[in-house]
C-alpha cells in the first residue's frame, strides 16, 4: 500500500509529494523546493520516518516543479526521471526562473526517460506512467490502480485544468489527455495535483467545468 506526504512549497505553492510503502523505499515527485527551510522540512520527514529515496520523478519540467531537483539528487544521489519531450524545459529552467524573478540551482540534465507503459517501481509498489501532453509536451501523470491514487501534475486541478498558453502548451492536446486517459481511471481515485487541494475523479467529472457535459 502506497502512503504519501504532501509538501506545499515555493511562492507558487507547488505540491511536492513523497510516496513510500512498508519497505521504506520512497520516490519524490516534483520537489519545487525554493528555500533552505523547505529543503529541511523534506529531509526531516524522510529521516524521521526512516525512508530511503530511490528516484526523483518529474510530472513536467516547469521551473516551479524542479527548483529543488539539484538539492534532492545531491542529497540522496538518486536519478531524475522525466519524459524526453520535457528535457528542454529542464535545460531552460534557470532562464525561465529569471524571467519570473527567481534564481535556482540548475537541475541536473543527466536524466532517465519516463515512457508510457513502462511502470515506475519502488519497494513493492509501482506507478503507471501516463503521457498527458497539453500543459507541456512531455507532461505525465502517475497512477496507482491498487491504491486509487493519481498524481496529475499541472494537467488536472480541483475545479480546473492546467494552463496551455506557455511554450509547448496545447489546449486540444490537454483535453484529449484528460478525456481519454485521466478520467478513465477508477472514478473513486484520489487526484493529487501539482497545485491546490486534492480531489477525486468523481468530483471532477461532476463539478469541473472543463469536464462536465450538460
Residue 145 domain-assigned (yes or no): yes
The confidence score (pLDDT) of residue 119 equals 97
User: Where do we find the cell 486534492?
Assistant: 198
Q: How many domains does the chain have?
A: 1
CATH of the domain at 142: 3.60.15.10
Whether 17 is covered by a domain: the verdict is: yes
Task: Determine the Cα–Cα distance for residues 190 and 137; give it in Å rounded to an integer.
Answer: 24
Q: Is 113 inside any structural domain? A: yes
- Supply the range of the domain harboring residue 192: 3-207
Residue 40 domain flag: yes
Contact (CB, 8 A) for 153 and 140: yes
pLDDT recorded at residue 213: 58
Cβ contact 191:150 at 8 Å = yes
For 30-58, the pLDDT digits (tens) are 999 999 999 999 999 999 999 999 999 99
Question: Is 214 part of a structural domain of the chain?
Answer: no
Q: Give pLDDT, residue 68.
A: 97
pLDDT in tens, 106-130: 999 999 999 998 999 999 999 999 9
Phi, psi at 17, each rounded to 5°:
-120, 140
pLDDT value of residue 158? 98
Residues of the chain with pLDDT under 70: 213-214
Q: Is residue 212 part of a domain?
A: no
H or E stretch covering 53: strand 52-57
Q: How far is CA 103 from the centre of its chain?
A: 21
Total-model pTM: 0.97
Q: Does residue 74 contact residue 156 with C-beta atoms inside 8 Å?
A: no
Is 193 a domain residue? yes
Amino acid at each position: 500500500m502506497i502512503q504519501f506526504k504532501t509538501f506545499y512549497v515555493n511562492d507558487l505553492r507547488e505540491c511536492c509529494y513523497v510516496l513510500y510503502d512498508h519497505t521504506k523505499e520512497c520516490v519524490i515527485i516534483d520537489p519545487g523546493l525554493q528555500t533552505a527551510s523547505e529543503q529541511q522540512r523534506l529531509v526531516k520527514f524522510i529521516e524521521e520516518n526512516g525512508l530511503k529515496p530511490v528516484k526523483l520523478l518529474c510530472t513536467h519540467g516547469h521551473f516551479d516543479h524542479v527548483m529543488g531537483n539539484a538539492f534532492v539528487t545531491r542529497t540522496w544521489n538518486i536519478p531524475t526521471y522525466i519524459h524526453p519531450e520535457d528535457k528542454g524545459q529542464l535545460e531552460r529552467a534557470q532562464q525561465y526562473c529569471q524571467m519570473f524573478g527567481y534564481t535556482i540551482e540548475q537541475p541536473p540534465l543527466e536524466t532517465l526517460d519516463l515512457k508510457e507503459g513502462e511502470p515506475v517501481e519502488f519497494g513493492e509498489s509501482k506507478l503507471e506512467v501516463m503521457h498527458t501532453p497539453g500543459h507541456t509536451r512531455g507532461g505525465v501523470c502517475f497512477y496507482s490502480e491498487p491504491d486509487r491514487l493519481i498524481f496529475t501534475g499541472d494537467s488536472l486541478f480541483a475545479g480546473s485544468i492546467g494552463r496551455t498558453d506557455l511554450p509547448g502548451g496545447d489546449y486540444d492536446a490537454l483535453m484529449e489527455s484528460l478525456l481519454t486517459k485521466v478520467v478513465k481511471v477508477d472514478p473513486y481515485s484520489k487526484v493529487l495535483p501539482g497545485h491546490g487541494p486534492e480531489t477525486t475523479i468523481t468530483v471532477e467529472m461532476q463539478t469541473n467545468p472543463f469536464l462536465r457535459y450538460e
